[in-house]
Amino acid sequence: MEEKQLVRLAQDGSPEAFEELVRRFQPKVFSMALSFTRNRQASDDLAQEVFLKAYLALPRFHGKSEFGTWLYRISVNHIKDYLRKKGRAKEVSLDDVREISFSDREQAERAEEEREIEARRKLVRSFVEGLPEKYRVILTLRDVQGLAYEEISRILKLSPGTVDSRLHRARRMLRVKLAPHLAGVGGTHELP
């Protein structure tokens, strides 16, 4: 059944239609929450709350955008609220991540490849968490979730130009922070 039809049936009170929408979109909502929180239980709770919100707001959905876009907007706003409440927006200093730093090449070579990748991933995520919210959100939607520019533009209600420039700045900020760890011992490799 088509998405629009399912939405209409769900608006008319069909639990089966809403269940189908949940089954279709749950992995993406969960994955989005996970990419922000890095906690499976918290992400599951957030996904449940997002669908609860969507269910209550369904009568006010007029189909001006795609259902998915509308749902992701609810998700992003809900996740942002959650993160603000949790106080996760704090700047991550280098000291916070020194334990999992992989700047020591010898140590990294000795470690298993899997563990190394995991450590790098943790490091990158720690730095992503340290970015200002507007950059973190856009970077997560594009580079972690892999959403298209146009979709991000619709979800965040930003012009494509703003998405482009904000994403550029976010990536640049992240690379500057990560550069010493990505390239081994050395400077930040700022472009001249």
Partner 1 sequence: MNCRKAEKRLLRSLDGRLAGPEAEALGKHLETCPACRRAATEYRSMLALLRDRSEAEPMPRFWERLEPRLREEKEIMPLLVWERWSLRAIPAFLALVGIIGGFLFFTPPAAEMSPSAALLLQNQDPLSDTHALFEADRSETRTLMLMFASLDEKTPLRRPTP
- Binding partner 1 (rule: CB under 8 A), the pick from 51, 82, 102, 135 is 51
d(CA 103, CA 150): 37
Q: Cα(first)–Cα(last) distance of the chain, in Å?
A: 55
CB of 64 or CB of 190, closer to partner 1: 190
| Stretch touching partner 1 by CB under 8 A, among 63-71, 75-83, 100-108, 114-122 | 114-122
Min CB(181)–partner 1 separation in Å: 10
Q: Is 18 an interacting residue with respect to partner 1 (CB under 8 A)?
A: yes
Q: Is 52 an interacting residue with respect to partner 1 (CB under 8 A)?
A: yes
Min CB(134)–partner 1 separation in Å: 17
Total residues binding partner 1 (CB under 8 A)? 43
Q: Is 11 an interacting residue with respect to partner 1 (CB under 8 A)?
A: no
Min CB(170)–partner 1 separation in Å: 10
SS3 track for the chain: CCHHHHHHHHHCCCHHHHHHHHHHHHHHHHHHHHHHHCCHHHHHHHHHHHHHHHHHHHHHCCCCCCHHHHHHHHHHHHHHHHHHHHCCCCCCCHHHHHHHCCCCHHHHHHCCHHHHHHHHHHHHHHHHHCCCHHHHHHHHHHHHCCCCHHHHHHHHCCCHHHHHHHHHHHHHHHHHHHHHHHCCCCCCCCCC
Q: Is 87 an interacting residue with respect to partner 1 (CB under 8 A)?
A: no
- Binding partner 1 (rule: CB under 8 A), the pick from 40, 84, 98, 115 is 40
Q: Is 94 an interacting residue with respect to partner 1 (CB under 8 A)?
A: no
129 Cβ neighbours under 8 A, 6+ residues apart: 88, 92, 136
Residues near partner 1 (CB under 8 A) = 15, 18-19, 22-23, 26-27, 30-31, 34-35, 40-41, 44, 47-48, 51-52, 55-56, 117, 120-121, 124, 128, 139, 143-144, 146, 149, 167-168, 171-172, 174-175, 178-179, 182-183, 189, 191-192
